[in-house]
Chains A and B, each alone.
Chain A
Amino acid sequence: MSESRLPESLIQSLGVQLTPVRRLPPPWMRTIGWLVLVAAIALGLLWHYGAQHMIRRWVAEPDIAVAGIGALITAVSAAWAAFTLGVPGRSAAWAWLPLPGLALWVGASGLGCLRDVVVPGATVATAHQSGDCLMFIISLSIPLSALLVWLLRRACPLRPVLTAVMIGLASAAASAALLEICHGFAVAVTDLITHAIAVGIVVLVNALMGGRLLQPALK
Protein backbone atom coordinates (compact mmCIF):
# COMPACT_ATOMS: atom_id res chain seq x y z
CA MET A 1 0.00 0.00 0.00
CA SER A 2 2.86 2.32 0.71
CA GLU A 3 3.76 2.18 -2.99
CA SER A 4 0.55 3.95 -3.93
CA ARG A 5 0.75 6.60 -1.19
CA LEU A 6 3.71 8.34 -2.77
CA PRO A 7 2.00 9.25 -6.07
CA GLU A 8 -1.23 10.03 -4.23
CA SER A 9 0.32 12.61 -1.94
CA LEU A 10 2.24 14.11 -4.83
CA ILE A 11 -0.87 14.22 -7.02
CA GLN A 12 -2.77 16.03 -4.26
CA SER A 13 0.10 18.47 -3.86
CA LEU A 14 0.17 19.15 -7.62
CA GLY A 15 -3.61 19.50 -7.65
CA VAL A 16 -3.38 22.25 -5.00
CA GLN A 17 -0.91 24.16 -7.16
CA LEU A 18 -2.93 23.82 -10.37
CA THR A 19 -3.54 27.04 -12.26
CA PRO A 20 -5.03 27.47 -15.75
CA VAL A 21 -2.41 27.48 -18.50
CA ARG A 22 -2.30 28.96 -21.98
CA ARG A 23 -1.89 26.13 -24.48
CA LEU A 24 1.11 26.13 -26.76
CA PRO A 25 0.00 27.20 -30.26
CA PRO A 26 0.38 24.47 -32.94
CA PRO A 27 3.85 24.14 -34.54
CA TRP A 28 2.76 25.60 -37.90
CA MET A 29 1.49 28.72 -36.20
CA ARG A 30 4.71 29.15 -34.21
CA THR A 31 6.68 28.65 -37.45
CA ILE A 32 4.75 31.50 -39.05
CA GLY A 33 5.56 33.69 -36.03
CA TRP A 34 9.28 33.11 -36.58
CA LEU A 35 8.97 33.62 -40.35
CA VAL A 36 7.43 37.05 -39.72
CA LEU A 37 10.80 38.16 -38.30
CA VAL A 38 12.64 36.64 -41.29
CA ALA A 39 10.24 38.47 -43.63
CA ALA A 40 10.84 41.73 -41.73
CA ILE A 41 14.62 41.35 -42.21
CA ALA A 42 14.04 40.54 -45.91
CA LEU A 43 11.96 43.70 -46.31
CA GLY A 44 14.68 45.74 -44.60
CA LEU A 45 17.34 44.33 -46.97
CA LEU A 46 15.12 44.89 -50.03
CA TRP A 47 14.48 48.46 -48.91
CA HIS A 48 18.22 49.04 -48.60
CA TYR A 49 19.51 47.15 -51.65
CA GLY A 50 16.44 47.13 -53.90
CA ALA A 51 15.10 44.13 -55.82
CA GLN A 52 16.47 45.02 -59.26
CA HIS A 53 19.95 43.63 -58.69
CA MET A 54 18.58 40.34 -57.29
CA ILE A 55 16.10 39.91 -60.16
CA ARG A 56 18.82 40.60 -62.78
CA ARG A 57 21.03 37.93 -61.23
CA TRP A 58 18.17 35.45 -61.11
CA VAL A 59 17.30 36.01 -64.76
CA ALA A 60 20.95 35.68 -65.83
CA GLU A 61 21.65 32.67 -63.56
CA PRO A 62 18.42 30.76 -62.77
CA ASP A 63 20.21 28.14 -60.65
CA ILE A 64 20.92 30.88 -58.08
CA ALA A 65 17.19 31.55 -57.83
CA VAL A 66 16.55 27.80 -57.43
CA ALA A 67 19.21 27.63 -54.68
CA GLY A 68 17.58 30.59 -52.93
CA ILE A 69 14.17 28.94 -53.10
CA GLY A 70 15.74 25.71 -51.80
CA ALA A 71 17.26 27.61 -48.87
CA LEU A 72 13.90 29.19 -48.11
CA ILE A 73 12.11 25.81 -48.20
CA THR A 74 14.83 24.40 -45.93
CA ALA A 75 14.38 27.27 -43.46
CA VAL A 76 10.60 26.89 -43.32
CA SER A 77 10.62 23.09 -43.03
CA ALA A 78 13.48 22.97 -40.49
CA ALA A 79 11.74 25.56 -38.28
CA TRP A 80 8.48 23.61 -38.54
CA ALA A 81 10.32 20.39 -37.64
CA ALA A 82 12.00 22.12 -34.67
CA PHE A 83 8.66 23.36 -33.29
CA THR A 84 7.08 19.94 -33.81
CA LEU A 85 9.96 18.17 -32.04
CA GLY A 86 9.37 20.57 -29.16
CA VAL A 87 6.09 18.80 -28.36
CA PRO A 88 6.36 15.52 -26.40
CA GLY A 89 5.04 12.49 -28.22
CA ARG A 90 5.71 13.75 -31.75
CA SER A 91 7.74 11.48 -34.01
CA ALA A 92 11.48 11.99 -34.53
CA ALA A 93 10.82 11.37 -38.24
CA TRP A 94 9.86 15.06 -38.49
CA ALA A 95 13.60 15.68 -38.67
CA TRP A 96 13.51 14.36 -42.26
CA LEU A 97 11.19 17.17 -43.34
CA PRO A 98 13.92 19.66 -44.35
CA LEU A 99 15.69 17.08 -46.51
CA PRO A 100 13.98 17.83 -49.90
CA GLY A 101 14.58 21.57 -49.51
CA LEU A 102 18.16 20.90 -48.45
CA ALA A 103 18.72 18.68 -51.49
CA LEU A 104 17.39 21.44 -53.78
CA TRP A 105 19.51 24.09 -52.08
CA VAL A 106 22.75 22.09 -52.11
CA GLY A 107 22.08 20.69 -55.61
CA ALA A 108 21.40 24.08 -57.18
CA SER A 109 24.37 25.64 -55.39
CA GLY A 110 26.55 22.81 -56.67
CA LEU A 111 25.40 23.54 -60.20
CA GLY A 112 26.45 27.13 -59.61
CA CYS A 113 29.98 25.91 -59.07
CA LEU A 114 30.14 25.15 -62.77
CA ARG A 115 29.21 28.75 -63.55
CA ASP A 116 32.70 29.97 -64.31
CA VAL A 117 33.00 27.05 -66.75
CA VAL A 118 29.55 27.46 -68.35
CA VAL A 119 29.53 31.26 -68.29
CA PRO A 120 33.14 32.37 -68.58
CA GLY A 121 32.33 36.05 -68.04
CA ALA A 122 30.52 35.60 -64.71
CA THR A 123 31.72 37.53 -61.66
CA VAL A 124 32.99 35.00 -59.12
CA ALA A 125 33.53 35.67 -55.43
CA THR A 126 37.04 36.20 -54.17
CA ALA A 127 38.18 34.68 -50.89
CA HIS A 128 37.65 38.06 -49.19
CA GLN A 129 34.09 38.35 -50.49
CA SER A 130 33.42 34.77 -49.39
CA GLY A 131 34.57 35.76 -45.91
CA ASP A 132 31.94 38.51 -45.95
CA CYS A 133 29.30 35.87 -46.82
CA LEU A 134 30.49 33.77 -43.89
CA MET A 135 30.15 36.71 -41.50
CA PHE A 136 26.74 37.64 -42.95
CA ILE A 137 25.33 34.13 -42.47
CA ILE A 138 26.77 33.67 -38.99
CA SER A 139 25.84 37.12 -37.70
CA LEU A 140 22.28 36.82 -38.99
CA SER A 141 21.97 33.22 -37.75
CA ILE A 142 22.72 34.25 -34.17
CA PRO A 143 19.57 36.36 -33.63
CA LEU A 144 17.42 33.96 -35.69
CA SER A 145 18.69 30.98 -33.65
CA ALA A 146 18.30 32.89 -30.41
CA LEU A 147 14.67 33.63 -31.23
CA LEU A 148 13.99 29.97 -32.08
CA VAL A 149 15.67 28.84 -28.85
CA TRP A 150 13.65 31.35 -26.85
CA LEU A 151 10.41 30.22 -28.48
CA LEU A 152 11.28 26.55 -27.94
CA ARG A 153 12.14 27.01 -24.27
CA ARG A 154 8.42 27.39 -23.65
CA ALA A 155 7.92 23.96 -25.22
CA CYS A 156 9.48 20.68 -24.09
CA PRO A 157 11.93 19.23 -26.64
CA LEU A 158 12.65 15.70 -25.47
CA ARG A 159 15.32 15.30 -28.17
CA PRO A 160 17.34 18.46 -27.57
CA VAL A 161 20.22 17.73 -29.93
CA LEU A 162 18.00 16.84 -32.87
CA THR A 163 15.87 19.92 -32.19
CA ALA A 164 18.98 22.09 -31.96
CA VAL A 165 20.20 20.75 -35.32
CA MET A 166 16.85 21.78 -36.83
CA ILE A 167 17.23 25.25 -35.25
CA GLY A 168 20.72 25.62 -36.70
CA LEU A 169 19.60 24.45 -40.13
CA ALA A 170 16.57 26.76 -40.14
CA SER A 171 18.52 29.86 -39.12
CA ALA A 172 21.47 29.15 -41.41
CA ALA A 173 19.18 28.45 -44.37
CA ALA A 174 17.14 31.60 -43.69
CA SER A 175 20.37 33.64 -43.52
CA ALA A 176 21.60 32.13 -46.80
CA ALA A 177 18.23 32.91 -48.43
CA LEU A 178 18.41 36.50 -47.18
CA LEU A 179 21.95 36.77 -48.51
CA GLU A 180 20.52 36.28 -51.99
CA ILE A 181 19.03 39.77 -51.77
CA CYS A 182 22.43 41.45 -51.45
CA HIS A 183 24.74 38.87 -53.03
CA GLY A 184 26.97 40.60 -55.56
CA PHE A 185 28.47 37.66 -57.42
CA ALA A 186 27.90 34.18 -58.80
CA VAL A 187 28.13 30.97 -56.82
CA ALA A 188 31.57 29.40 -57.15
CA VAL A 189 33.41 26.66 -55.28
CA THR A 190 34.77 29.16 -52.73
CA ASP A 191 31.29 30.55 -52.16
CA LEU A 192 29.75 27.09 -51.77
CA ILE A 193 32.45 26.05 -49.28
CA THR A 194 31.87 29.27 -47.34
CA HIS A 195 28.15 28.54 -47.17
CA ALA A 196 28.84 24.98 -46.04
CA ILE A 197 31.23 26.21 -43.32
CA ALA A 198 28.77 28.84 -42.12
CA VAL A 199 25.86 26.39 -42.02
CA GLY A 200 28.06 23.78 -40.33
CA ILE A 201 29.19 26.24 -37.64
CA VAL A 202 25.65 27.39 -36.92
CA VAL A 203 24.31 23.81 -36.78
CA LEU A 204 27.22 22.60 -34.61
CA VAL A 205 27.02 25.46 -32.11
CA ASN A 206 23.29 24.95 -31.79
CA ALA A 207 23.73 21.20 -31.32
CA LEU A 208 26.39 21.72 -28.65
CA MET A 209 24.33 24.24 -26.74
CA GLY A 210 20.93 22.73 -27.41
CA GLY A 211 20.87 20.34 -24.48
CA ARG A 212 21.54 23.09 -22.00
CA LEU A 213 19.45 25.81 -23.54
CA LEU A 214 16.37 23.94 -24.64
CA GLN A 215 15.25 22.00 -21.60
CA PRO A 216 14.46 24.28 -18.67
CA ALA A 217 11.35 22.22 -17.96
CA LEU A 218 13.33 19.00 -17.55
CA LYS A 219 15.93 20.27 -15.09
Chain B
Amino acid sequence: MTAALTATRPMVLDSVLPVWIRADFAVSDAAESAIDVPERRRAAWMAAAQGGDRRSYERVLADSVPLIRAAARRQGVDADLTDDVVQETLLTVHRVRHTYDPGRSYDAWLSAIAARRAIDALRSQGRRGHRELHDERAYDMHPDEHDAADATEREQAARRLREAIATLPPGQREAVEQLGLKERSLAEASAHTGRQSGALKVNLHRAMKALRTRFHGEP
Protein backbone atom coordinates (compact mmCIF):
# COMPACT_ATOMS: atom_id res chain seq x y z
CA MET B 1 0.00 0.00 0.00
CA THR B 2 2.83 2.33 0.86
CA ALA B 3 4.48 1.78 -2.49
CA ALA B 4 1.27 2.79 -4.21
CA LEU B 5 1.68 6.21 -2.64
CA THR B 6 5.13 6.63 -4.09
CA ALA B 7 5.21 8.70 -7.21
CA THR B 8 7.31 7.15 -9.93
CA ARG B 9 7.45 10.41 -11.84
CA PRO B 10 8.49 13.93 -10.85
CA MET B 11 5.95 15.62 -8.59
CA VAL B 12 5.06 18.40 -10.97
CA LEU B 13 1.55 19.36 -11.90
CA ASP B 14 0.72 18.34 -15.44
CA SER B 15 1.44 21.26 -17.65
CA VAL B 16 -1.49 22.32 -19.73
CA LEU B 17 -0.16 21.11 -23.01
CA PRO B 18 -1.44 22.42 -26.29
CA VAL B 19 -3.77 19.92 -27.81
CA TRP B 20 -1.69 17.97 -30.30
CA ILE B 21 -4.30 16.09 -32.01
CA ARG B 22 -7.97 16.67 -32.36
CA ALA B 23 -8.35 13.39 -34.13
CA ASP B 24 -11.91 12.22 -34.24
CA PHE B 25 -12.24 8.50 -34.48
CA ALA B 26 -10.12 8.56 -37.58
CA VAL B 27 -9.27 5.67 -39.83
CA SER B 28 -5.68 4.51 -40.10
CA ASP B 29 -4.96 6.42 -43.30
CA ALA B 30 -5.68 9.66 -41.50
CA ALA B 31 -3.66 8.47 -38.52
CA GLU B 32 -0.67 7.91 -40.74
CA SER B 33 -0.85 11.19 -42.58
CA ALA B 34 2.30 13.27 -42.31
CA ILE B 35 2.93 12.51 -38.65
CA ASP B 36 6.64 12.13 -38.28
CA VAL B 37 7.22 12.52 -34.57
CA PRO B 38 7.03 9.01 -33.08
CA GLU B 39 5.08 10.02 -29.98
CA ARG B 40 2.49 11.94 -31.97
CA ARG B 41 2.25 9.04 -34.38
CA ARG B 42 1.53 6.67 -31.51
CA ALA B 43 -1.05 9.10 -30.09
CA ALA B 44 -2.80 9.30 -33.46
CA TRP B 45 -2.76 5.50 -33.84
CA MET B 46 -4.23 5.03 -30.38
CA ALA B 47 -6.93 7.61 -31.07
CA ALA B 48 -7.83 5.69 -34.24
CA ALA B 49 -7.72 2.40 -32.30
CA GLN B 50 -10.26 3.78 -29.81
CA GLY B 51 -12.57 4.08 -32.79
CA GLY B 52 -12.01 0.42 -33.70
CA ASP B 53 -9.18 0.69 -36.27
CA ARG B 54 -7.40 -2.64 -35.93
CA ARG B 55 -4.39 -1.79 -38.10
CA SER B 56 -3.62 1.33 -36.06
CA TYR B 57 -4.11 -0.64 -32.87
CA GLU B 58 -1.65 -3.36 -33.81
CA ARG B 59 0.85 -0.72 -34.89
CA VAL B 60 0.63 1.29 -31.70
CA LEU B 61 0.95 -1.85 -29.57
CA ALA B 62 3.98 -3.02 -31.55
CA ASP B 63 5.48 0.46 -31.25
CA SER B 64 4.81 0.39 -27.50
CA VAL B 65 6.84 -2.74 -26.74
CA PRO B 66 10.26 -0.99 -26.59
CA LEU B 67 8.75 1.72 -24.37
CA ILE B 68 7.36 -0.92 -22.02
CA ARG B 69 10.72 -2.69 -21.88
CA ALA B 70 12.41 0.64 -21.08
CA ALA B 71 9.88 1.37 -18.32
CA ALA B 72 10.45 -2.12 -16.88
CA ARG B 73 14.21 -1.59 -16.92
CA ARG B 74 13.82 1.77 -15.14
CA GLN B 75 11.92 -0.01 -12.37
CA GLY B 76 14.75 -2.54 -12.03
CA VAL B 77 12.97 -5.54 -13.56
CA ASP B 78 15.31 -8.40 -14.55
CA ALA B 79 15.59 -9.28 -18.22
CA ASP B 80 13.87 -12.64 -17.70
CA LEU B 81 10.81 -10.93 -16.23
CA THR B 82 10.51 -8.28 -18.93
CA ASP B 83 8.37 -10.44 -21.21
CA ASP B 84 5.86 -10.87 -18.41
CA VAL B 85 5.74 -7.10 -17.87
CA VAL B 86 5.26 -6.55 -21.62
CA GLN B 87 2.43 -9.07 -21.75
CA GLU B 88 0.66 -7.73 -18.65
CA THR B 89 1.03 -4.14 -19.83
CA LEU B 90 -0.39 -4.90 -23.28
CA LEU B 91 -3.35 -6.68 -21.68
CA THR B 92 -3.92 -3.73 -19.33
CA VAL B 93 -3.67 -1.26 -22.21
CA HIS B 94 -6.35 -3.28 -23.97
CA ARG B 95 -8.66 -3.13 -20.94
CA VAL B 96 -8.20 0.58 -20.20
CA ARG B 97 -7.71 1.97 -23.71
CA HIS B 98 -10.81 4.14 -23.20
CA THR B 99 -8.90 6.15 -20.53
CA TYR B 100 -6.41 7.53 -23.05
CA ASP B 101 -7.05 11.16 -23.94
CA PRO B 102 -5.68 11.89 -27.46
CA GLY B 103 -5.02 15.48 -26.36
CA ARG B 104 -2.31 14.28 -23.99
CA SER B 105 0.94 12.32 -24.21
CA TYR B 106 0.50 8.68 -25.20
CA ASP B 107 3.99 7.81 -23.98
CA ALA B 108 3.31 9.19 -20.49
CA TRP B 109 0.03 7.24 -20.35
CA LEU B 110 1.69 4.01 -21.47
CA SER B 111 4.78 4.42 -19.29
CA ALA B 112 2.64 4.93 -16.18
CA ILE B 113 0.79 1.66 -16.84
CA ALA B 114 4.05 -0.17 -17.65
CA ALA B 115 5.72 1.14 -14.49
CA ARG B 116 2.79 -0.07 -12.42
CA ARG B 117 2.90 -3.49 -14.08
CA ALA B 118 6.66 -3.66 -13.50
CA ILE B 119 6.16 -2.97 -9.79
CA ASP B 120 3.46 -5.68 -9.68
CA ALA B 121 5.89 -8.13 -11.32
CA LEU B 122 8.61 -7.27 -8.81
CA ARG B 123 6.21 -7.74 -5.90
CA SER B 124 5.00 -11.03 -7.29
CA GLN B 125 8.60 -12.17 -7.75
CA GLY B 126 9.39 -11.09 -4.19
CA ARG B 127 6.44 -13.09 -2.84
CA ARG B 128 7.48 -16.18 -4.81
CA GLY B 129 11.07 -15.80 -3.61
CA HIS B 130 9.91 -15.49 -0.02
CA ARG B 131 7.75 -18.64 -0.27
CA GLU B 132 10.50 -20.65 -1.91
CA LEU B 133 13.11 -19.57 0.62
CA HIS B 134 11.11 -21.17 3.42
CA ASP B 135 10.11 -24.32 1.60
CA GLU B 136 12.63 -26.90 2.82
CA ARG B 137 11.09 -29.68 0.76
CA ALA B 138 11.51 -27.58 -2.37
CA TYR B 139 15.21 -27.28 -1.57
CA ASP B 140 15.55 -31.05 -1.22
CA MET B 141 13.60 -31.80 -4.35
CA HIS B 142 15.20 -29.09 -6.46
CA PRO B 143 17.35 -30.48 -9.31
CA ASP B 144 20.96 -29.50 -9.65
CA GLU B 145 20.85 -25.85 -10.64
CA HIS B 146 24.35 -25.98 -12.12
CA ASP B 147 23.17 -28.23 -14.91
CA ALA B 148 23.25 -25.62 -17.67
CA ALA B 149 21.73 -27.87 -20.34
CA ASP B 150 18.71 -28.65 -18.15
CA ALA B 151 18.27 -25.00 -17.29
CA THR B 152 18.31 -23.98 -20.95
CA GLU B 153 15.83 -26.70 -21.80
CA ARG B 154 13.53 -25.59 -18.99
CA GLU B 155 13.75 -22.00 -20.15
CA GLN B 156 12.87 -22.97 -23.68
CA ALA B 157 9.95 -25.09 -22.52
CA ALA B 158 8.70 -22.23 -20.35
CA ARG B 159 9.02 -19.80 -23.24
CA ARG B 160 7.13 -22.14 -25.58
CA LEU B 161 4.38 -22.49 -22.98
CA ARG B 162 4.17 -18.72 -22.49
CA GLU B 163 3.87 -18.23 -26.23
CA ALA B 164 1.18 -20.87 -26.46
CA ILE B 165 -0.79 -19.30 -23.61
CA ALA B 166 -0.50 -15.88 -25.23
CA THR B 167 -2.15 -17.16 -28.40
CA LEU B 168 -5.17 -18.57 -26.57
CA PRO B 169 -8.48 -16.71 -26.89
CA PRO B 170 -8.83 -14.09 -24.13
CA GLY B 171 -11.32 -16.01 -21.97
CA GLN B 172 -9.18 -19.15 -22.01
CA ARG B 173 -5.99 -17.18 -21.41
CA GLU B 174 -7.58 -15.43 -18.46
CA ALA B 175 -8.63 -18.78 -16.95
CA VAL B 176 -5.08 -20.19 -17.29
CA GLU B 177 -3.54 -17.03 -15.84
CA GLN B 178 -5.91 -16.86 -12.89
CA LEU B 179 -6.22 -20.54 -11.99
CA GLY B 180 -2.93 -21.92 -13.28
CA LEU B 181 -0.27 -19.24 -13.15
CA LYS B 182 -1.51 -17.10 -10.27
CA GLU B 183 -2.80 -20.20 -8.43
CA ARG B 184 -6.04 -18.53 -7.41
CA SER B 185 -9.02 -20.54 -6.22
CA LEU B 186 -12.14 -20.58 -8.38
CA ALA B 187 -13.84 -18.17 -5.99
CA GLU B 188 -10.88 -15.77 -5.99
CA ALA B 189 -10.54 -15.91 -9.77
CA SER B 190 -14.27 -15.35 -10.12
CA ALA B 191 -14.08 -12.32 -7.81
CA HIS B 192 -11.12 -10.86 -9.69
CA THR B 193 -12.44 -11.35 -13.20
CA GLY B 194 -16.15 -10.92 -12.58
CA ARG B 195 -16.79 -14.19 -14.43
CA GLN B 196 -18.82 -17.07 -13.06
CA SER B 197 -16.80 -20.00 -11.76
CA GLY B 198 -18.55 -22.33 -14.21
CA ALA B 199 -17.38 -20.21 -17.14
CA LEU B 200 -13.83 -20.17 -15.74
CA LYS B 201 -13.83 -23.98 -15.45
CA VAL B 202 -15.08 -24.40 -19.01
CA ASN B 203 -12.47 -21.94 -20.28
CA LEU B 204 -9.69 -23.70 -18.35
CA HIS B 205 -10.78 -27.05 -19.73
CA ARG B 206 -10.78 -25.72 -23.30
CA ALA B 207 -7.41 -24.04 -22.77
CA MET B 208 -5.84 -27.25 -21.46
CA LYS B 209 -7.25 -29.15 -24.43
CA ALA B 210 -5.85 -26.56 -26.85
CA LEU B 211 -2.43 -26.63 -25.18
CA ARG B 212 -2.33 -30.43 -25.20
CA THR B 213 -3.19 -30.42 -28.89
CA ARG B 214 -0.47 -27.89 -29.56
CA PHE B 215 2.27 -29.73 -27.67
CA HIS B 216 1.32 -33.37 -28.15
CA GLY B 217 -0.70 -33.21 -31.35
CA GLU B 218 -3.65 -35.04 -29.77
CA PRO B 219 -6.62 -33.50 -27.99
Kindly count the residue-residue contacts between A and B in the assembled complex, taking CB atoms under 8 Å apart: 142
Q: Which of A16-24, A35-43, A112-120 contacts B (4 or more CB under 8 A)?
A: A16-24
How far is the CB of A166 from the nearest CB of chain B, in Å? 12
B contact residues around A218 at 8 Å (CB): 92, 116, 120
Would you call A127 an interface residue if the criterion is a C-beta within 8 Å of the partner chain's C-beta atoms? no
Q: Which chain B residues lie closer than 8 Å to A87 at the CB level? A: 99, 101, 109
Is the CB–CB distance between B62 and A7 below 8 Å? yes
- Chain B residue contacts of A59, Cβ below 8 A: none
Q: Which of B52, B91, B111, B120 contacts A89 (CB 8 A)?
A: B111
Residues of B87-101 at the interface with A, using a CB-CB cut-off of 8 Å, are 87, 90-92, 94-101
B137 interfacial by beta-carbon distance below 8 Å: no
> Do B167 and A91 touch (CB < 8 A)?
no
Interface size class of A (residues with CB under 8 A): 35 or more
A residues in contact with B86, CB < 8 Å: 6-7
Interface residues of A in 1-41 (CB under 8 A from B): 2-3, 5-24, 26
Interface size on B, residues (CB 8 A): 58
B113 touches A158 (CB 8 A): yes
* Across-interface contacts of A88 in B (CB, < 8 A): 96, 99-100, 109-110, 112-113, 116
Contact of A11 among B90, B99, B173 (CB under 8 A): B90
Q: With A9-B166, A88-B96 as known contacts, state yes or no: A14 contacts B104, CB within 8 Å.
A: no
Interface residues as binary, B50-87 with A (CB distance below 8 Å gives 1, 0 otherwise): 11111001100110010000000000000000010011
Closest residue of chain A to B104, judged by CB?
A: A89
A21 touches B98 (CB 8 A): yes
Tell me if B109 and A12 are in contact (CB < 8 A): no
User: Which residues of A are in contact with B by a Cβ distance under 8 Å?
Assistant: 2-3, 5-24, 26, 84, 86-94, 154-156, 158-162, 211, 216-219
